[in-house]
Amino acid sequence: MNKPLEGIRVVECAFFVAAPSAGLNLADWGAEVIKVEPIYGEPGHRRDADGRIMTRDEYFNVYNRKKKGIALNTKDPRGMEMLYRLLEDADVFLTSYRPGALVKMGLNWEVLHEKFPKLIYAAITGFGDEGPEKDAPGFDTVAYWARSGLMQDVINRGNDVLIPPVAFGDLTCGAALAGAVGTALFNREHTGRAEKVTLSLYGLSLYSLSYMVFDVQTGGNYPASRLEPALPMMASFKCKDGKWFYMANVDHEKHYADLMRMLGREDLVEDERFKSRTAAQENREEFICMLDAEFARYTRDEVLDILKRADIAHSTINHVADNLRDPQAKANDYLKIMHMRDGVDVYVPSTPVRFGTSDMEEAGMGPLLGEDTLSVLTAAGYTAEELNHLAKENVIVGRQV
């Protein structure tokens, strides 16, 4: 894969997944990403019962692979001065700290833009830069899923609230922010201006729910029932072997007659209740129940063959674990092997946007706490004597310092 961001330096002060996953995308695209952790390590690390960072720290490694890692005590003025020195040569400052904390630390946009006018400022928040909850903690389960309506309205009516997948919204925001950083770099190249680029979990979730936001204003009612799909031939169905699939036919008139014939229901080809999209939508519960009965006569493989011959968009409804064996995922390098430090290999999803060839290199690893403190700060002009003194003063943590 091409590396369009080679030569770009990113300084990341961020925890958990949202902003770090933006840094991950930038690193995969060639940027040098320096992750700045507190001297005790960011809270996203997995720890043992004694509070020590575990050797097999999968989640931290997945979202911080290919980054350099340094550990600074930014509560000490000397640690903050070191961070400022790194920002002098940086192109991007990436953070997920809350707005109030950034002001207190002297890392808000106004301060950094005055000090470093060419520095692009990229930040993810839970609920946005303004309003009464701008400083509220906002993990993706809170701001992306619960607040927006996803957790309660994207379920089959009558069920309990959805159990949100951890970090789903974080990763969506991270990918979006990485793209926005690229746009800001392009703009700086042409205008000389550095921008503040912000994104919130809540805001992106509302954007992702655009259809439903429009729909509730024009009569839509959520949560919906499986028997009341947005389009009559866009729903999930269970086959006689107990396996599920999803069909998404958006061109009803084009495919309806052929599908009925393939299912052996020539008697329904001219049925006025179903043959047009408008009629099928007016009778959608009856229509879905009819399709339920028809698809239940076949195994899922048989149904998939019918839908393929009919050229109707469809997919098996899988479990997440099924992707580990999916030939389509393998063919596109969507999953890469990560060699953990304890010798165990795990699959991790690769960065979704590629430049040039789709071939992806090995996943790489996240940095150990302070793994690159010595090399990064030496390159920034600090002497070994200075670094050893700062380590003794607990201003930095570094390997071999």
The alpha-carbon radius of gyration of the chain (Å, integer) is: 26
Q: Which residues are catalytic?
A: 170
pLDDT for 401 equals 44
Greatest CA separation found in the chain?
A: 88
- From the list 57, 54, 134, the residue with the least C-alpha distance to 97 is 134
CA geometry: angle 96, 113, 11, nearest 5 deg: 45
Q: What is the pLDDT of residue 360?
A: 62
Mean pLDDT by 10 residues, the chain (401 residues): 91 96 95 96 84 81 93 96 97 96 95 97 95 90 94 90 92 96 97 96 96 92 91 95 96 95 95 96 95 97 95 95 93 88 87 76 82 95 95 87 44
Q: Are 351 and 25 in contact (CB under 8 A)?
A: yes
User: 354 has which bridge partners?
Assistant: none
Asked if 28 and 53 count as a contact pair (C-beta separation under 8 A), the reply is no
- Report the pLDDT value the prediction gives residue 364, as an integer from 0 to 100: 75
CA–CA separation, 152 vs 145, rounded Å?
9
Q: Name the residue type at position 370.
A: G
Cα separation, 120 vs 180, in Å, equals 11
| Cβ-Cβ contacts under 8 Å for 219 (sequence gap 6 or more) | none
Say what the pTM is: 0.90
Token duo for residue 43: 């809270």
pLDDT on residue 341: 85
Residue 78's Cβ-count burial label (10 Å; 0-12, 13-18, 19+) is: middle
Can you give the length of the chain in residues?
401
Q: Minimal CA–CA distance to 21: which of 173, 160, 217?
A: 173
Q: How far is CA 380 from CA 69, 83, 88, 373, 387, in A?
A: 14, 10, 10, 10, 11
Judged by phi (left if over 0) then psi (alpha if -120 to 50, else beta), residue 45 lies in beta
Cis status of the peptide bond prior to 223, with omega within 30 of 0: yes
The alpha-helical segments, DSSP class H, found in 154-276 are 168-191, 201-208, 210-215, 252-262
Q: Beta strand pairing status for 314-316 and 9-13?
A: unpaired
pLDDT at 358: 58
Give the model's pLDDT for residue 359: 61
DSSP string across 260-313: HHHTT-GGGTT-TTTSSHHHHHHTHHHHHHHHHHHHTTS-HHHHHHHHHHTT--
CA atoms 290, 293, 297, 299: torsion sign: positive
Q: Tell me the CA end-to-end span of the chain in Å, nearest whole number.
A: 35
